[in-house]
Amino acid sequence: MQNKDLLEELESFSSKKRINRKFIYIVTAIISFLAIVLFFIFNGNDKSNKIEYITKKVTQGDLSVVVSTTGNLNPTNSVEIGIEVSGTLKEIFVDFNDEVKAGQILAKIDTVKLQSQVDSSTAALAIAVANQKESQVLLNNKKTLYDRTLNMYKNSGGKYPSKNELDDTRFSYEAAIESLEAAKAKVLQAQSNLKTDKQNLEKASVKSSIDGIVLNREVEVGQTLAATMSAPKLFTIAKDLTNMDLIVSIDEADVADIKKDLPVTFTVDAYPNKVFNGKVKQVRLNPVDTNGVVTYETVVSVDNEDLLLKPGMTATAKIITKESKNKLLIPNGALRFKPKIQEQKNGGVNLVGPNMNRPANVARDLSKKELSPIFILENNQPKRVMVKVLDSDGKLTSIESEELKVDDEVIISQKSDDGK
């Protein structure tokens, strides 16, 4: 009986031992599995949190801020030559590109009618002068008769001649005076008509008003010209092609930066590899509104001594509004870059932003102009640096900084292994 109880007790102990061993195996397996899972999780997070910073080096040099525009070349001074009298064009003495002098005859119209008017006016003046002389003789006779009658009337004490006869001689004398004045007026009128007809005859010869070059001729021999309210245009003459004006349109957003004497460079299609120079001569105040877009015409003075440039050529111009000489230069992307929040291994966050690595003394010697933050790469971590922005050409920006130097790496963007 005792042996049986002992045997049962031994079997019970052995069964419990097997259960404990099995439990230990299960717990060990669970712990190992969790360890492996945690290892991959944390290892994966470490990999995904690796950040690559894209940088560019700080350089030093010159930077120009330009306003780009287009326009056309025109002579500095051109005049349109017309005619003030009507007639048929009889002769043309010049053609395109001919050089002319002031007063030179360019063309003539038929003068038969104009000469006839001059002859008629000359005859009318001669008649008017003769009538004036006749009126003067009549006046002299009337005055003599009146003076004699008046003396007789006074000497006779008013008895002879009668008062009526004296009045008649006085009236005749006064009428002769008026007749003479009318004759003089007709002489003046005839003289004026003759002068006008002679001027019209002279205007039949079309003359140049300036020294220059014939740019355009719009008439042919035999053409009938009718001078009405506006004189028909015959020729266009440019005074001087060695100096020209480039007329460009400046957008209203840029016009405040355009000043007189600013340097200008431009190219034309005829010489694509040649750069021409000029300078701003005038910004016209009259706005030009084209479909709601407001622009201002700006005149650029251009030296054309070699006569390569022709009137009407289209030019693509750059007006240099600002220049920075020998300044630190950074890409514009450096001013736009802001570090992102990134997770750390310990589960916390690393906020890389405006409050990170704030310099103790920020460019005290710089002007009071507002400072802007950029980030440089230091020990593989972004460090904020404050700089004063000067000018930008759209790609590079000139700056002033007491902390940056040439070849420093400025951050322009970042990317992590997870693509963020």
- Within 10 angstroms of residue 32's Cβ, the number of other Cβ atoms is 10
* Residues 125 and 187: beta-carbon distance below 8 Å: yes
Q: Are residues 247 and 362 in the same domain?
A: no
Residue 377 belongs to some domain of the structure: yes
Domain of 227: which CATH number?
2.40.50.100
Closest CA to 101 of 218, 214, 203, 205: 214
Domain of 300: which CATH number?
2.40.30.170
How many whole angstroms separate alpha carbon 326 and alpha carbon 113? 76
Question: What is the reported pLDDT for 240?
Answer: 85
DSSP conformation class of 340 = P
Residue 252 belongs to some domain of the structure: yes
Q: Are residues 226 and 98 in the same domain?
A: yes
Residue 151 belongs to some domain of the structure: yes
How many whole angstroms separate alpha carbon 393 and alpha carbon 329? 11
Q: Are residues 212 and 293 in the same domain?
A: no
Beta bridge partners of 387: 372
Cis peptide, bond prior to residue 354, ω within 30 of zero: no
Q: Are residues 101 and 216 in the same domain?
A: yes
The H-assigned helical ranges of 346-404 are none
* Residues 134 and 183: beta-carbon distance below 8 Å: yes
Question: What is the reported pLDDT for 40?
Answer: 59
Structure tokens at 355: 């409050």
How many whole angstroms separate alpha carbon 409 and alpha carbon 398? 15
Residue 37 belongs to some domain of the structure: no
Which residue reads 């205007």 in tokens? 203
Provide CB contacts within 8 A for 306, sequence distance 6+. Answer: none
* Residues 60 and 396: beta-carbon distance below 8 Å: no
How many domains are contained in the chain? Answer: 4
Question: What is the reported pLDDT for 364?
Answer: 39
Residue 18 belongs to some domain of the structure: no
Domain of 123: which CATH number?
1.10.287
Q: Are residues 183 and 117 in the same domain?
A: yes
Beta bridge partners of 235: 81, 217
Question: What is the reported pLDDT for 394?
Answer: 82
Residue 333 belongs to some domain of the structure: yes
Structure tokens at 123: 């005859």
Query: Where a domain ends, among 203, 220, 250?
Result: 203
- Provide the domain limits for residue 172: 111-203
Q: Are residues 338 and 385 in the same domain?
A: yes
How many whole angstroms separate alpha carbon 420 and alpha carbon 414? 8
* Residues 153 and 166: beta-carbon distance below 8 Å: yes
Q: Are residues 212 and 194 in the same domain?
A: no
Closest CA to 202 of 135, 118, 262: 118
How many whole angstroms separate alpha carbon 212 and alpha carbon 224? 26
Question: What is the reported pLDDT for 322?
Answer: 86
Q: Are residues 96 and 124 in the same domain?
A: no
The helix (H) or strand (E) run that includes residue 343 is strand 342-343
Q: Are residues 269 and 383 in the same domain?
A: no
Domain of 405: which CATH number?
2.40.420
How many whole angstroms separate alpha carbon 277 and alpha carbon 320? 11
Question: What is the reported pLDDT for 22?
Answer: 63
Closest CA to 246 of 305, 142, 319: 319
Residue 101 belongs to some domain of the structure: yes
Q: What are the 10-residue block averages of pLDDT along the chain, 420 residues in total?
A: 52 55 68 68 53 88 90 92 90 93 93 93 95 94 92 87 90 94 95 94 92 92 81 88 94 92 95 95 93 94 93 94 88 87 44 42 46 86 89 88 87 71
The helix (H) or strand (E) run that includes residue 238 is strand 233-238
Q: Are residues 116 and 160 in the same domain?
A: yes
Question: What is the reported pLDDT for 38?
Answer: 65
DSSP conformation class of 370 = P
Query: Where a domain ends, among 306, 323, 340?
Result: 323
Q: Are residues 293 and 170 in the same domain?
A: no
Query: Where a domain ends, among 279, 294, 323?
Result: 323
Helix, strand or coil, per DSSP, at residue 325: strand
Residue 295 belongs to some domain of the structure: yes
* Residues 37 and 361: beta-carbon distance below 8 Å: no
Q: Are residues 91 and 219 in the same domain?
A: yes
